[in-house]
Structure formats: C-alpha cells, structure tokens
C-alpha cells in the first residue's frame, strides 16, 4: 500500500511509499439511520515541510486530498481530505484524513418540501461541484415526497437515503457512493477465512414502529392552534401522522417487547413506508451477528452480501455458512491484506458433505468430497478416469455426463456408474477398445489422443 | 581480503560471523479455516552476529571501531561476506558487547578491552516479492485460489480426493 497526496488544485500529486501505522476501518450503517464518516490514519516518511495549525509553510496541508492505493493494480481504497498533519519527528509526519462527508457537516441547507421530486435532481442540488458523488442506477427514477427541516447537508443526505433505502459508502471509490445493499452473494472460500469466526446473539427486536406523514398546504390565516405545522419556502403545511408497525415474525410470544421507533422522518409516507420497514427488518430482525477475519484485498467491502463459512470442513460434522451484509471492515496490511469483518446475519445455512462415488458395478473406482449448503442444487461434471494397476491401464468413461441432485441434511452420497472405455495390457502391448466407437492415434507409440 | 566494510571503511580484522536469514511474515499470516497455514511473506532479512578479534597493539583501531559502532544513528552501510562474495546491506546495530581485562604481569598491570561482538540487522529485505513476482518466479498464485467452497469445492486434506484402494485387489476390473 502507499498514499498519494494531491496539491490543492488536484492537478498534481506525490506518492509516499514509506508508510507505517496505517489504520483504515471503513464501515456503513446498513439501516441507513446514520451516515458514517470513514477515517484514515497513517504515518508517512517525508522531510517535506508540513503545515502545522494555521502556518502556511509547506507542501502537506489540511484540505488536500489523500488517496490510499494498492501496490498491485492502483486500486483506490480511499479518497479522503486531510484534516490534520503533524510532524512526529524529523522523518515522519502523521496524517489524519476523513471522507468528504465530514465537510457536508459544515454546510447548512434550507428547509424543503419535496413533492414527488426525483432523487437524482435532489442530489444534484444538494452536492457542490467539488463534492464527487455517484448515485446507483437503482435509484435513477426513485422519487421522494415529504418535508426536510433546515439542517446540515450531511443530515439531508442521510434523511433522503433513509427514505429511499439507500446506503452511503465512502471507501473504495473516489466519490461518495449512494447504493442499495448488495443483492449478489459473494462467497468467501474456506481458505480465505481465518480460524475461527464467531457468531453471537444480539437482543431481540420485537417490532419496528414507523410514523408516516402526509402534508397539506395551509394558508397562515387558517392555521389552528394545537395542530402540527411545518414551514418550507415560505409556505405552511399541516402535518398528519400515521403509525405503522411491523412485528418480528420470529419473536417469541413470551419475551418482553422491544421496539425500534422512528417518528420524525418526514420523508416517510404511505408510498414508501412498507418498503422502508422491510429494509430495516433486514438488520433489526436479525438476532445473530458474525465476527470473522478474512483474507481481503478489497474483494469484500462494506455493504457487500457475503457467505462466510463458520466451520472447518470435517469428515464427521456438518458446518454452517453465515450470510449477511458487511457493515465494517478493519484492515491489517502486509504483502496482502486481511480484515476483521462484522455482519448481521440474514441467514445461517447448514453446509454438509456430498460424496460422489465413481462405481463400476459394485467396485468403487474413486470418490470426491464436496461441501455444500443444504438445499443447494448441484450439477458436477463426471470426469474420465485413467488408472493403472499392476500391468494394466484402464480408462473409464462416465455413463452420466453430470452428477446432479439437491443437498439434503446429513451426508449426501451419489453413486455414479462408469464403464471401461479402454484397457491397455502392458505385458503384451495390446490395447482393447471396450466401449468406444472410435480412437485416434498419434505416432507408432499409439498414444490415444481422443475417444468418442 | 577485507572482512567487512562499515560506512565505506574497511576493517581488516579477524572475526567470527554467524549469518541468519529471517523470512519474515506479516501480521496477515495465519491459520485458515481449511486447516492450511497462509504465510504472507514480506521478505528475507539478513542478520549478522559478528565477533571481532582485534590483535593486541591495535587498541587505537579497536576504540575507533567501538565508537563507530555505538554511534546513536539509525543505520550504517555494510559490506559483508555472502556466499562466495559479498553483499551490501543497510542495517542497524544492536547489542554491542565486549570485555575489559585487567591483568598483572610481573610488576606491571596491563588493561585492555577485547572480544567486541555485535549484531547487524538489515533494515530492508535482501529479497522480497511482489504479488506478480511470486507468480512469475515460483509458479504459485500468491493468493489462495478463489474457489467457492461454500457452494461446492473439493477439500480433502492433502491433494486430490482420490481414495487409495488396496493394491493387488481386482477392484479395477
């Protein structure tokens, strides 16, 4: 890894490869309730003069962009703004940087009443030219209706993202990303998971209570004391509230109620309340969480939907695969990188063994062992087998091209029939063609190169 | 032959050198869930443990060398024996030790320092690998292959999942 620090106009940069104490732990809030500001800490070796406080004497200063990059292929891990640069000693400077989201906290935006406005247009107005962002295609035609009070730009971003079920991610990109939660499962193989992940329980949430809103424009003269009104762009609006409750179907009847309440998100209305409740249920109704260390060169990042095996393959026991959205990755760097990931489980699938036996009659020619989640529909190609015993060499062909089936709980066994295709007797150099229609030869050594 | 060179100055003295190559893994190394050990190697660092035998009568050289060695600086340039030749490394010095002897010989008291020994630890690896180099030089992927075990891959300890059937058996035909 190395860092790249840009000049103020972002037209030139300098790379710093001698770095230490690199701390990078990006995270997202999968509920959208908050927008998290990612931070980067690094000590870089340089004798360049550095800005300290308000003095302007050097080349590294607050407000400049710093990028964290991968040695391998210049993959961008972070593009942040330097908020502090202090010289530690003659050789090293400590840099503290954070995502540009932090700067959105410094800017206020006025109250707005949105009436079926496209979020695409709303974000175009919200972000300044210097604030790079990207809006996922999934939200291209999404619209919002409701009220936003006077607030910081970051609060506005959070409120809109919450109302459309979007997540804000500020790592692994040059821009602020506004994205949905991942919907494509990424498998983490056994040999990328460190020994040993842990699953723990969180408190049960029995229900989510969400207030939806309707607004009616009301002339000031018609306003009634005791009613709730909001003001935007010089107009007044009567507020009507409706309570919506989504109960946890998995909550047991005899446990104490524990509700999560949202009663001040004015962008929630009758059109989006069900969708947002479902989105929140993905996190809040999950009782299990996973902590695991995985070998991770930014292949698995916050908001990804991942499948993580939690148990080693074992000839005896079944294992489990945890499925969920990554909400944090704390990285450790070497030649490669690993990360401590945390996720709230969406599913915990049993994995079990599948044994495919290659049989000729009652004789077992060989076998292969697989690990699959229960319910998985498998389809595995049967290979040709080439085996030598004593002075005989046999080529066996599979009578079925593929072994197929659905994984059941417990050990699954699938016997696949084979027949002899060729039999080569080494003692007398005779090749018997048993069950094939044609054989091609190469040279006088009679090396078989194809069988039909 | 000059035995070793420190910061450009050759020291032609007798010595015993113990050489150690440390193949240094990073914190990313560890035991994986498939029971294999992933070794994330940063590089090979040389360490030399040197014991000098400065002859009597060369106390001035001895003292000069000692003062160079115990300078509070972060590193020195060394040229040291390596294989059939030498190697240039930049390294730090640790643990300088020697012995002060005070002996009575007849009516005279003789004193001298002797047996200076110290360790040199290379500051940078003499061999290191990038991910691409590891693939080119050693023919194995630096990352474990991206197999999707959780949706079906062969994991049998060792190699391929073939069972070894008893020899001499007519299992095959």
A343-384 pLDDT tens trace? 998 888 888 878 889 998 888 888 887 777 777 788 888 988
- Among A179-183, A262-266, A283-287, B24-28, the range with the most confident prediction by mean pLDDT is A262-266
Range 350-369 of A in CB contact (< 8 A) with B: 351, 354, 360, 363-369
**Chain B residues close to A373, C-beta within 8 Å:** 150-151
Q: Is the preceding peptide bond at A41 cis, omega within 30 degrees of 0?
A: no
Q: Are A193 and B36 an interchain contact pair (Cβ–Cβ within 8 Å)?
A: no
Going by C-alpha positions, the residue among A24, A40, A41, A45 that lies closest to residue A87 is A45
pLDDT of B159 over the 80 cut: no
**Chain B residues close to A196, C-beta within 8 Å:** 33
The more confident residue out of A25 and A355 is A25
Q: Which of B29, B151, B156 sits opposite A369 (nearest CB)?
A: B156
How many inter-chain contacts (A to B, CB under 8 Å) are there?
151
- Among A115-124, A390-399, B96-105, the range with the most confident prediction by mean pLDDT is A115-124
- Establish if B88 touches chain A: CB-CB under 8 angstroms: no
Residue A422 — very low, low, confident or very high, per pLDDT cuts 50/70/90? confident
Nearest CA in chain A to B166: A389
- pLDDT value of residue A230: 93
pTM score, whole prediction: 0.74
| Cα gap B9→B78, rounded to integer Å | 9
- pLDDT value of residue A49: 63
Range 45-84 of B in CB contact (< 8 A) with A: none
Residue A91 Cα, gap to closest chain B Cα (Å) = 11
pLDDT of A318 over the 70 cut: no
Residue A313 — very low, low, confident or very high, per pLDDT cuts 50/70/90? low
Listed range (A4-18, A59-73, A279-293, A390-404) with the worst mean pLDDT:
A59-73
- Establish if B30 touches chain A: CB-CB under 8 angstroms: yes
Residue A450 — very low, low, confident or very high, per pLDDT cuts 50/70/90? low
**Chain A residues close to B123, C-beta within 8 Å:** none
**Chain A residues close to B32, C-beta within 8 Å:** 190-195, 295
Question: Torsion angle, CA of B159/A378/A321/A177, rounded to 10 degrees?
Answer: 110
- pLDDT value of residue A444: 52
- Establish if B141 touches chain A: CB-CB under 8 angstroms: no
Q: What share of chain A is helix, strand, coil (3-state, %, to 5)?
A: 10, 50, 40
DSSP sequence for A71-108 = TTT--EEEEEEEEEEEE-SSSEEEEEEE-THHHHTT-E
Range 384-423 of A in CB contact (< 8 A) with B: 387, 389-390, 392, 394, 420, 423
- A192, A365, A391: which to substitute to probe chain B, counting the most B Cβ within 10 Å? A192
- pLDDT value of residue A371: 72
Q: How far apart are the first and last CA of chain A?
A: 52
Residues B64-80, mean pLDDT to the nearest whole number: 90
The more confident residue out of A437 and A131 is A131
Residues A408-423, mean pLDDT to the nearest whole number: 88
Q: Which of A307, A338, A368 sits opposite B28 (nearest CB)?
A: A338
The more confident residue out of A89 and A28 is A28
- B27, B28, B135, B159: which to substitute to probe chain A, counting the most A Cβ within 10 Å? B28
DSSP sequence for B117-171 = EEEEEESS-SEE--HHHHHHHHSS-SSPP---GGGT-B--SSS-----PPTT--T
The more confident residue out of B135 and A164 is A164
**What does each C-alpha distance from B158 to B30, B34, B154, B163 come to in angstroms?**
18, 11, 11, 12
Nearest CA in chain B to A364: B171
pLDDT of A271 over the 90 cut: yes
**What does each C-alpha distance from A9 to A5, A70, A130 come to in angstroms?**
11, 23, 11
**Chain B residues close to A420, C-beta within 8 Å:** 173
pLDDT of B166 over the 80 cut: no
ipTM more than 0.85?
no
| Cα gap A115→A92, rounded to integer Å | 53
**What does each C-alpha distance from B23 to A258, A336, A398, B36 come to in angstroms?**
54, 16, 47, 19
The secondary element (H helix, E strand) that includes residue A174 is none
């Amino acid at each position: 890894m190395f860092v790249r620090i840009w000049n103020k106009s972002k037209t030139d940069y300098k790379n710093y490869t001698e770095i230490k104490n690199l701390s990078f732990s990006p995270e997202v809030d999968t509920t959208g309730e908050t927008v998290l500001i990612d931070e980067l800490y690094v000590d870089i070796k340089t004798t360049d003069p550095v800005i300290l406080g308000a003095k302007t004497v050097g080349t590294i200063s607050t407000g400049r962009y710093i990028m964290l990059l991968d040695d391998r292929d210049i993959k961008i891990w972070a593009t942040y703004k330097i908020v502090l640069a202090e010289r530690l000693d003659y050789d090293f400077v400590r840099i503290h940087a954070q995502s540009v989201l932090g700067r959105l906290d410094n800017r206020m935006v006025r109250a707005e009443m949105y009436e079926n406005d496209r979020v695409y247009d709303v974000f175009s107005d919200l972000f300044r030219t210097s604030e790079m962002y990207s809006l996922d295609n999934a939200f291209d035609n999404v619209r919002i209706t409701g009220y936003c009070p006077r607030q910081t730009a970051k609060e506005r971003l959070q409120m809109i993202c919450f109302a459309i079920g979007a997540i804000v991610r500020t790592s692994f990109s040059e821009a602020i990303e506004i994205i949905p939660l991942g919907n494509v499962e990424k498998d983490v193989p056994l040999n990328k998971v460190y020994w040993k992940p842990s699953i723990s329980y969180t408190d049960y949430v029995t229900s989510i209570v969400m207030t939806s809103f309707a607004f009616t424009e009301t002339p000031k003269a018609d306003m009634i004391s005791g009613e709730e009104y909001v003001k935007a762009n010089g107009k007044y609006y009567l507020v009507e509230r409706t309570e919506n409750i989504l109960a946890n179907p998995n909550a047991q009847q005899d446990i104490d109620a524990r509700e999560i309440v949202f009663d001040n998100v004015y962008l929630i209305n009758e059109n989006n309340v069900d969708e947002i409740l479902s989105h929140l249920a993905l996190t809040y109704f999950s009782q299990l969480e996973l902590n695991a260390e995985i070998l991770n060169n930014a292949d698995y990042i916050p908001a990804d939907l991942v499948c993580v095996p939690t148990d080693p393959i074992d000839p005896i026991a079944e294992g489990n695969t945890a499925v969920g959205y990554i909400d944090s990755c704390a990285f450790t760097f070497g030649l490669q990188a690993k990360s401590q990931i945390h996720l709230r489980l969406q599913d915990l699938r049993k994995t079990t063994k599948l044994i495919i036996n290659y049989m000729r009659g009652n004789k077992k020619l060989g076998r292969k062992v697989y690990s699959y989640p229960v319910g998985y529909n498998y389809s595995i190609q049967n290979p040709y087998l080439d085996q030598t015993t004593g002075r005989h060499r046999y080529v066996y062909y599979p009578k079925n091209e593929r072994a197929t089936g659905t994984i059941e709980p417990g050990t699954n066994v699938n016997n696949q029939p084979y027949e002899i295709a060729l039999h080569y007797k080494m003692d007398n150099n005779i090749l018997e063609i048993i069950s094939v229609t044609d054989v091609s030869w190469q040279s006088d050594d009679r090396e078989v190169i194809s069988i039909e | 032959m000059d035995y070793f060179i420190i910061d450009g100055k050759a020291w032609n003295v007798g010595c015993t050198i113990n050489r150690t190559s440390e193949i240094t893994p990073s914190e990313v190394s560890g035991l994986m869930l498939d029971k294999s050990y992933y070794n994330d190697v940063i590089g090979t660092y040389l360490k030399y443990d040197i014991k000098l035998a400065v002859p009597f009568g060369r106390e001035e050289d001895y003292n000069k060398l000692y003062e160079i060695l115990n300078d509070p600086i972060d590193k020195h340039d060394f040229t040291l024996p390596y294989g059939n030749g030498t190697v240039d490394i930049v390294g730090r010095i640790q643990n300088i030790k020697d012995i002060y002897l005070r002996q009575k010989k007849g009516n005279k008291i003789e004193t001298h320092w002797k047996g200076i020994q110290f360790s040199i630890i290379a500051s940078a690896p003499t061999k290191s690998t990038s991910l691409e180099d590891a693939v080119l030089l050693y023919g194995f992927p630096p990352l474990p292959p991206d197999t999707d075990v959780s949706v079906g891959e062969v994991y049998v300890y060792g190699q391929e999942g073939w069972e070894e059937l008893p020899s001499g058996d007519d299992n095959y035909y």
